[in-house]
């Protein structure tokens, strides 16, 4: 894994480039659909058999990540796959914000709760990303986990 | 559980995952795209249908379970950061499921019951 490649990628401007979608193969999306549907089913079945709280655990199960990371490694190399997982780490903090917001607001207004929960996920994930990017914390945190310099 | 509810959860959950994946595919840089890999795609679909099926009070325990498992998602990502470089993405990300199961199980038995 190349530290230079990692830093170079980090310097790219943040944004969405919809033209990248032309490279996405329908088969890759089908795999993600199947995994997503399977986890939703699993959460529902476990919830009815073992209780809703146990079912809820599977709402934060990383079912898609192995497929995503493997595809990224195959197409763009191990550094990009590592980088994607590193972003997932910040996204999982956002996921906690999503769950906490939903938990607190569901009884007040369920529609508002889900909209606010999604906003909380976006705010916390993107906020953390920008904080790490601006302060250079990515470089420090990378040193903790990376094997190569 | 009614088969229609199960099917709706599966289809809408799968579509939500595809939606967030497409955003992730178009996002750059890669670390920013990674945020969408941990998007609550299945959760939003599942919670919305559960609200319709069981009402808000019946949905809260699902959100509580999800909050517990968010910590295990964090553990999963930490484990994958350590393992991907050593054993590559497929094996590393699959082995990291052990971290998810250990943390989710541990926290559930400690605080969730």
The per-residue pLDDT string of chain A (149 residues; one tens digit each, 9 = 90 and over) reads 667 777 888 888 898 989 888 888 899 899 999 989 999 999 899 989 999 999 999 999 988 888 889 889 998 899 889 999 999 999 999 999 999 999 999 999 999 999 999 999 999 999 999 999 999 887 777 777 776 65
Q: Is A85 exposed, middle or buried (0-12, 13-18, 19+ CB in 10 A)?
A: buried
Distance separating alpha carbons of residues A75 and B104, to the nearest angstrom: 32
pLDDT digits 0-9 by tens, B25-82: 899 899 999 999 889 999 999 999 999 999 999 999 999 999 999 999 999 999 999 9
Q: Does ipTM come in above 0.85?
A: yes
Which residues form the domain of B74?
Answer: 3-112
The alpha-carbon gap from B14 to the nearest alpha carbon of chain A, in Å, equals: 4
pLDDT of residue A4: 77
According to the model, what pLDDT value does residue B43 have? 94
The predicted model scores a pTM of 0.92
Cα–Cα distance for residue pair B21/B95, rounded to 1 Å: 22
Q: What is the count of structural domains for chain B?
A: 1
pLDDT score of B1: 60
Q: Is the dihedral of CA B52, B53, B56, B60 positive or negative?
A: negative
Q: What gap in Å lies between CA A43 and CA A39, rounded to an integer?
A: 6
Cross-chain Cβ contact A61/B31 below 8 Å: no
Give the pLDDT of residue A12: 86
The answer to whether the bond into B29 is cis (omega within 30° of 0) is yes
Query: Could you tell me which residues are beta bridge partners of residue B28?
Result: A15
Q: Contact B16/A43 with Cβ under 8 angstroms? A: no
Contacts of B80 in chain A (CB under 8 A): 65, 69, 85, 88
Q: Cα(B20)–Cα(A63) distance, rounded to whole angstroms?
A: 14
By the 10 Å C-beta count (0-12 exposed, 13-18 middle, 19+ buried), A34 is classed as middle
Q: What is the pLDDT of residue A147?
A: 65
CA distance linking residue A72 with residue B50, whole number of Å: 33
**pLDDT higher than 80, residue B12:** yes
Q: Which of B70, B81, B97 sits opposite A95 (nearest CB)?
A: B70
**B residues 35-74 lying closer than 8 A (beta carbon) to A:** 35-48, 51, 56-74
Q: Name chain B contacts of A96, Cβ cutoff 8 Å.
A: 67, 70-71, 74
Instruction: Write the CB contacts of A127 (distance below 8 Å, at least 6 apart in sequence).
Output: none
What's the gap between Cα A85 and its chain centre? 8
Rounded to the nearest 10 degrees, what angle do helices A26-50 and B3-26 cross at?
140
Which among A84, A93, A86 has a CA at the least distance from the CA of A138?
Answer: A86
Return the pLDDT at A149.
56
Q: What is the pLDDT of residue A1?
A: 61
For residue A85, what pLDDT is reported?
Answer: 92
Rounded to whole angstroms, the Cα distance separating A50 from B62 reads 12
With a CB cutoff of 8 Å and minimum separation 6, the contacts of A41 are B6, B9, B10, B13
Q: B93, A70: Cβ pair inside 8 Å? A: yes
Contact B77 A51 (CB under 8 A): no
């Amino acid at each position: 894994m190349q530290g230079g490649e990692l830093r170079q990628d980090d310097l790219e401007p943040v944004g969405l480039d919809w033209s990248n979608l032309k490279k996405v193969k329908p088969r890759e999306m089908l795999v993600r659909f199947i995994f997503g549907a399977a986890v939703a089913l699993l959460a529902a079945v476990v919830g009815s058999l073992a209780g809703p709280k146990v079912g809820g655990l599977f709402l934060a199960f990383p079912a898609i990540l192995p497929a995503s990371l493997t595809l990224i490694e195959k197409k763009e190399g191990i550094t990009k796959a590592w980088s994607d997982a590193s972003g997932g780490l910040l996204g999982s903090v956002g996921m906690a914000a999503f769950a906490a917001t939903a938990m607190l607001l569901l009884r007040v207004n369920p529609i508002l709760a889900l909209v606010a929960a999604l906003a909380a996920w976006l705010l916390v994930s993107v906020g953390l990303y920008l904080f790490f990017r601006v302060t250079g914390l990515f470089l420090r945190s990378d040193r903790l986990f990376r094997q190569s310099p | 559980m009614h088969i229609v509810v199960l099917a709706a959860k599966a289809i809408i959950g799968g579509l939500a995952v595809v939606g967030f994946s497409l955003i992730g595919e178009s996002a750059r840089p890669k670390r920013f795209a990674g945020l969408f890999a941990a998007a609550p795609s299945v959760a939003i679909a599942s919670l919305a249908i559960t609200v319709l099926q069981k009402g808000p009070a019946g949905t809260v325990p699902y959100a509580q379970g999800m909050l517990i498992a968010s910590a295990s998602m964090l553990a999963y990502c930490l484990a994958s950061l350590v393992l991907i470089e050593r054993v590559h993405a497929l094996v590393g990300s699959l082995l990291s499921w052990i971290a998810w199961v250990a943390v989710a199980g541990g926290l559930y038995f400690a605080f969730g019951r």
